[in-house]
Chain A
Amino acid sequence: MSLSLRDMLKSNSLLSGTSACPGCPENMAMRMVGMALGNDVALIVIAGCSSVIQGLAPKNSYNFPVLNIAFAAGPPAASGMWRAYRQRNKNTTVVVWAGDGGTADIGFASLSGAAERNENFIYICVDNEAYMNSGGQRSGSTPFGAYTSTTPEGKKENKKEIMFIMMDHNIPYLATASVGYPHDFVNKLRKAKQIFGFKYVQVLTPDPYGWMFDPSKTVEVGKLAVQTCYWPLIEYENGKLTVSPESLHCLEKSTRRPLKDFLQIQGRFKRITEKEYKALENYVDSMWDKIKKLIE
């Protein structure tokens, strides 16, 4: 697949004038969505940063038809929408764009319901690992040890592994991605578009403000998450799990980049103890053990 600066410039999914913060990974991801899916797209945005980023009505910086909607309503609204398009003989790609809180917490039942029914749309979980739009409160997707405004002592529980739960729904396609690796993300979205049924894509979107790093380093943090194997890039298709090239080195513990490199660049892990660091390392190890078992 070719993906160059020219493609980037040609993508007009994101217009100027968004109200995103500097270094916002969601804008990067949205631009990639446009590159991957083209123009025949209807986008459902559930409550989150993107409800604000697109700007004030009547203007909108997302150059798609956009339906904004309350938290848990994204997957069912998409279910009704693609069926309506089918009734009207239209082949529009329906996309739900949801944050990790809307996915792992308040919207989880409706996500699970739509997946079980194998509804024909792409669900993109934009995972910045907390309720960033309301100022950075913990979600089910916040990792162990991370500071958030509702876990000032550091979160005591591990990140909810939604990708595994979604795999157990036996959906036709699932992938994870990181804004640090646009080729990988765009490729996966393009593949998702070709498949009928429920597609789940979770993209890691490091947030400079919630994660406390310099806004110039969003891409770098997105890469470090993958290189240190904190965030696995995987694909699940027809019941088969594969590890994407950028994450293949994670299959062996000895070739993984130290987790410290990912944690140290962020302020949210600043206060974790050595013991907590070990616990996080163990979490990463057990996640990869699980992945290895699944690909065997």
Chain B
Amino acid sequence: MKIISGNEAVALAVKLARVGVVGIYPITPQTSIIEKLAEMKANGELDADIVRVESEHAAMASTFGAAIAGVRAFTATASQGLLYMHEMTWWVAGSRVPVVMVVATRAVGAPWNIWDENTDFMSERDSGWLMAFASNPQEALDLTLQAFRISEDERVYLPMMVGMDGFILSHMKTNVIIPSQDEVDLFLPPRKQPFVLDSESPVGMGNIFPPIEYMKLRHSIHEAILHSEEVIREVGMEYQKITGINNYSTLNVKYKLDDADYAVVLMGAWAGDAMEAIDELRKQGLSVGLYRIRYIRPWSEEEITSALKDKKAILVIDRATSMGRGGPLYLELKSTLHHEQMCGVVSGLGGVLLNKGDFKEIISRFVERAKKGNAKGVTWYYPKGGEKVELKSPRYVEE
């Protein structure tokens, strides 16, 4: 066990996974992952070849080129960087090639803002990647290691990204259990992938697909995402068996949920604050529990439905937006469950910090409304009040 940050935990996972090539480009708050990798390389602790590229578009392209040529490949990014490589994330998924990326989430400009928000990560939902989201540095390490095995499973053969809240996880140091190299070698077999671009077996990849073939390929990605659910559970249990770390037998995580009347749904680091709030609210007699989404893709309809179907009302808290529609998690839940009472809260954007007290306020307000049969729609929550937003030009700054 070591006291390390989320970014250090990810860098260690990359080393333990015996990655062949890493494409790197700096962006806050992900940068210390690639700095750590470069440092390990300089000290001779890392075998991976590092390509220090000139943009995130190139970071994803170089990672892709290495993966296609048959080695395990990794990159990391955030915010503007993820948006800049968006074209390539789609290209990688369409190629059905296993690649792993970590995203230390951050708000997207304009205006400039370097702090945490999950909208960058959530905007990749349709790209064809598997997407897991950590809630502490330990999970960031575990999920990164598992991502290699999941993406290289022949039932999946898709790239996978692991998200974590920028700064809050990327830079915060906590106790992290680090599996040994022997354990990881046992857990992670040599790389498998559907095609290797090799002069010994010339294949053409990515040239024009006729309409039906193209549609079938897209369909196969959809099916692979659906099938990845059982792979994720298998891999999670295998990981647990070998390393003895954490509980990965399910995609998503329940906290005091089964006996609760009301459910709160969210993802990421602030699950910690929410759990503390729930502990105190329960003492005050509120029957609430937490459901933490760990996998955005695959979206486990089965797990989510069985966990939440009997709840009287559901509150979904998003640290991301789908402008004009609320938050992406809220929309996903809406399409899965058909509760009369489901409401969304958007908060925490651009680094707005919520503490236990804020969660207590949000949750108790929700329960009050639910008791009146009125827990519907989306609201934006600001700590310490100040909800009134005036529609002025982007130059407007509140005095």
Contact = CB atoms under 8 A, between A and B. Distances in A.
B51 A57 contact: no
Interface in A64-117: 64-70, 72-81, 83-88, 90, 92, 109-110, 112-113, 116-117
A113 B54 contact: yes
B91 A80 contact: no
A84 B61 CA distance: 13
Interface string B51-66: 1111101111111111
B209 interface: yes
Nearest to A38: B199
Interface of A: 39-42, 44-45, 51-52, 54-60, 62-70, 72-81, 83-88, 90, 92, 109-110, 112-113, 116-117, 119
B49 A87 contact: yes
A40 B23 CA distance: 25
Nearest to A74: B61
Question: Top 6 closest A-B pairs, CB basis?
Answer: A113-B54, A80-B65, A60-B204, A68-B206, A77-B65, A80-B66
Contact of B202 (A45, A65, A77, A113): A65
B64 A110 contact: no
A57 B55 contact: no
B55 A80 contact: no
Contacts of A68: 204-207
A57 B21 CA distance: 29
Interface stretch (B68-76, B234-242, B284-292, B375-383): B68-76
Contacts of A45: 207
Contact of A63 (B49, B55, B202, B207): B202
B183 interface: no
B59 A66 contact: no
Contacts of A70: 87-88, 91
B203 interface: yes
Nearest to B66: A80
B54 A110 contact: yes
Given A52-B208, A76-B23, A87 B71 contact: yes
B182 interface: no
A80 B64 contact: yes
A25 to B, nearest CB: 20
Given A73-B88, A87-B71, A67 B197 contact: yes
B51 A72 contact: no
B12 interface: no
A44 B65 CA distance: 9
Interface of B: 20-21, 23, 49, 51-55, 57-71, 73, 87-88, 91, 197-199, 201-210, 213
Contacts of B66: 80-81, 83-84
A259 B87 CA distance: 42
A116 to B, nearest CB: 8
Contacts of A109: 54-55
24 contacts: A42-B199, A52-B208, A64-B199, A64-B202, A65-B198, A70-B87, A72-B58, A73-B57, A73-B60, A73-B64, A76-B57, A79-B62, A80-B69, A84-B66, A84-B69, A84-B73, A85-B69, A87-B71, A88-B69, A110-B54, A110-B57, A113-B58, A116-B54, A119-B51
Contacts of A51: 207-208
Given A42-B198, A57-B209, A113-B54, 16 more contacts: A42-B199, A54-B204, A66-B207, A72-B61, A80-B21, A83-B51, A84-B67, A84-B68, A84-B69, A87-B21, A110-B53, A110-B55, A110-B57, A110-B61, A113-B53, A116-B54
A207 B58 CA distance: 30
B197 A65 contact: yes
B206 A56 contact: no
Contacts of B63: 80
**Central interface residue in A40, A76, A116, by most chain B CB within 10 Å:** A76
A262 to B, nearest CB: 34
B206 A84 contact: no
Contact of B69 (A42, A52, A74, A112): A42
A81 B208 contact: no
Given A54-B204, A56-B210, A67-B68, A84 B20 contact: yes
Nearest to B197: A65
A113 B198 CA distance: 25
B21 A84 contact: yes
A79 B69 contact: no
B202 A73 contact: no
Nearest to A19: B208
Contacts of B208: 51-52, 55-57
B209 A56 contact: yes
B65 A84 contact: yes
B192 to A, nearest CB: 15
Contacts of A81: 65-66, 68-69, 197
B194 to A, nearest CB: 13
Contacts of B67: 80, 84
B203 A65 contact: yes
Contacts of B198: 42, 65, 90, 92
B310 to A, nearest CB: 47
A134 to B, nearest CB: 14
Contact of B58 (A62, A63, A76): A76
Contacts of B210: 56-57
A57 B58 contact: no
A83 B21 contact: yes
Contacts of B209: 56-57
Contacts of A74: 61
A117 B207 CA distance: 28
Contacts of B51: 76, 79-80, 83, 117, 119
